A and B are shown apart, each in its own frame.
Chain A
Amino acid sequence: AQTVTQSQPEMSVQEAETVTLSCTYDTSENNYYLFWYKQPPSRQMILVIRQEAYKQQNATENRFSVNFQKAAKSFSLKISDSQLGDTAMYFCARGGFQKLVFGTGTRLLVSP
């Protein structure tokens, strides 16, 4: 089975600090994409960042960056300068052809 594993069910961080969420995945495909989605209490699924597997350079979007280790099949999300609005469930997902396969999520709480 091609799975995505998020080993941290919950994490807490204080405002302005940095936090890293972990994700590992399994795939037999050569061409695939990796994503982090954020799901705040509103339950909307919001795309945070994407990484193409063929690119060696780690993706960055403002305060969000990834550490993509292809050989290790690892894809972690770093949130810098955490804000209260970052409080949400974060899902790692692997995409390729067709469906996304999601991890079970990490609940992040940012406190003042």
Chain B
Amino acid sequence: DSGVTQTPKHLITATGQRVTLRCSPRSGDLSVYWYQQSLDQGLQFLIQYYNGEERAKGNILERFSAQQFPDLHSELNLSSLELGDSALYFCASSASDNYEQYFGPGTRLTVT
């Protein structure tokens, strides 16, 4: 158990819908990262937050957004969903930028 929690575990929704994925980092970790793992793309970095502020952006679509709240949990919002958004979405946390990242169990999103 990494100490990072993600909900829900599974999500099935239709195209055009909007969903919110939630992540709670390990106790004391200030950084939260979101990654997308799809079959043909491997693990792709989406976005990082550090202590409530956006720190870095990767290959995140404009339809996707995230935020980190004062209690340090984070949410990833995915809207206008397309079939290609089906993937495993991981949240990871670390104490700071240069430390190892610990991953949550992931949320499996299926868009039908």
Contacts and interface: CB of A to CB of B under 8 A. Distances in A.
Interface of A: 31, 33, 35, 37, 42-47, 50, 91, 95-105
Contact of B103 (A44, A50, A95, A105): A44
Nearest to B33: A99
A19 B49 CA distance: 37
A31 B43 contact: no
Interface residues of B, number: 23
Given A44-B103, A46-B2, A100-B101, 8 more contacts: A35-B100, A43-B105, A44-B2, A98-B48, A99-B48, A100-B45, A102-B43, A105-B42
Most buried by B among A37, A91, A100: A100
Given A45-B90, A99-B45, A33 B105 contact: no
Interface string B42-71: 110100100000011010000000000000
Contact of B58 (A35, A44, A91, A99): A99
Q: Which 8 A-B pairs have the closest CB atoms?
A: A45-B103, A99-B45, A98-B56, A102-B43, A97-B97, A50-B100, A104-B42, A98-B48
Interface in B26-40: 33, 35
Contacts, number: 56
Given A43-B88, A43-B106, A105-B42, A98 B97 contact: yes
